[in-house]
Amino acid sequence: MKQIELEAEFFARQPDAPHIRATKMSESQVQIAELCFPRLARDEDMMDAIELWLRTGKQAAGRRNDVRIDEAFAQFGAWLAGESGLREISQKNLRNRVAKFAAQMGRTFLHSITPEAVEGFLDSRTTSEVSKDNDLRAISRFFSWTMEKPRHWIMANPCAGVKVAGLKAERLANGGPKILSVAECDALLRSAERVANGAAVPWLAVCLFGGLRPDSEAKRLDWSLVNLDDGEIRILSTNKTERPRVVDMDRNLVAWLRAYKGLPFVFPQGVMQRVKLAAGFGGKGKFMADGTPLKPWPADVLRHTAISHKWRQTGSYGLTAAWAGNSEAVIREHYQGRVTSEDAAKFYALMPSGSTP
């Protein structure tokens, strides 16, 4: 006690030092108190909050707050494989990203994981800001799942409000989503016409001119959902987060689908690789037979190209967002002003061989 008294006397003489008092609380209890009191309007509210928790909150929570993240992740993996309805590639993406986070959290209780813990995990990742953002989205989906019926293991998602610093700057530095020039689109379409009797043309056309997502929408499409007379494609919901929508077709897309009507939207393995190679696309450091370097194939380039031209055609964030199944904010940030009116006119004039614009 004498040591405490001397320390208190010393700090009392320091103008900006905290007021020191003896306490029976442990170090962790002191830390919890320091976190809780600033969140209350009055210090006296602490007793009311505790009384309310003891009367109602604790009983309502039950075992909800006793679930560890390793236990939750095991059940999440089973849900992904069984009831989620997600494609295998989406399951793998979620499983792998959340697994890294769960491993770092160890045997922590779900209710103990804070936004700061999520930020700490993201800061520890030696990847690009875009990859960190994908990590954050996967982790947030996991926590949303823990909040859903019948689990209700936590009451708030710790990812809420967490953002990846530098994400927007990185995207701007990279010039935003990559798109194909009109000449590259034409080369790709002509290659598709020649390879495997046009097997990849229906899929390529709905991705390039209809903006369909290559796997979750285009490869799940069948001709019963394509109305060539009215120029519409019905996109069914592919999982619990995507809504059905109707995609209006421009006349050139209708022409491409009429020319190849009946061919499936899923083509034999390797066909699209041959199409891209014939059009001069491959991978970094690869070359054509004549020594010409192959151009890289950017991720989601067909959809990015389609949406960029649609925005120029409509000049509307709302119409473009509804057509593409995106938000207006995404259209505004990534797709406006990517192509000119002249580009768009040439793009929508691309027709099957033997047809006229």
Same domain as 74, residue 140: yes
Task: Identify whether residues 213 and 315 lie together within a single domain.
Answer: yes
Same domain, 73 and 58: no
User: Which residues, 6+ apart, have CB-to-CB distance to 151 below 8 Å?
Assistant: 64, 145
pLDDT in tens, 51-64: 776 665 554 554 45
> What was the pLDDT predicted at 241?
45
User: Is the same domain home to 227 and 285?
Assistant: yes
Kindly tell me the number of DSSP H helices and DSSP E strands found in the chain. 17, 5
Single-letter amino acid code for the residue at 300 = D
Per-residue pLDDT reduced to its tens digit, 237-288? 654 445 788 999 999 999 999 999 999 999 998 999 999 999 999 866 666 6
Cis preceding linkage at 150, omega within 30: yes
Structure tokens at 292: 């010409």
Pairing of strands 232-235, 226-227: antiparallel
- Residue 40 and residue 13 share a domain: yes
Residue pLDDT, tens place only, 65-105 = 589 999 999 999 999 998 888 878 888 999 999 999 999 99
Residue 334 has a pLDDT of 84
* Residue 352 within any structural domain of the chain: no
- Write down the pLDDT at residue 240: 42
Q: Say if 354 falls within a structural domain.
A: no
Q: How far is CA 61 from CA 17, 64, 164, in A?
A: 40, 5, 32
Q: Are residues 203 and 335 in the same domain?
A: yes
In a shared domain, residues 261 and 148: no
Q: Considering its fold, how many domains does the chain have in total? A: 3
Q: Residue 350: what pLDDT?
A: 97
Whole-number Å distance between alpha carbons of 316 and 342: 18
Instruction: Return the CATH number at 134.
Output: 1.10.150
- Spell out, as residue ranges, where the chain has pLDDT lower than 70: 1-22, 53-65, 166-176, 237-242, 283-291, 356-357
Residue 323 and residue 211 in one domain = yes
The pLDDT, as a whole number, for residue 239 is: 46
| Domain span at 11 | 2-62
Are 293 and 343 found together in one domain?
Answer: yes
For residues 204 and 333, state if they share a domain: yes
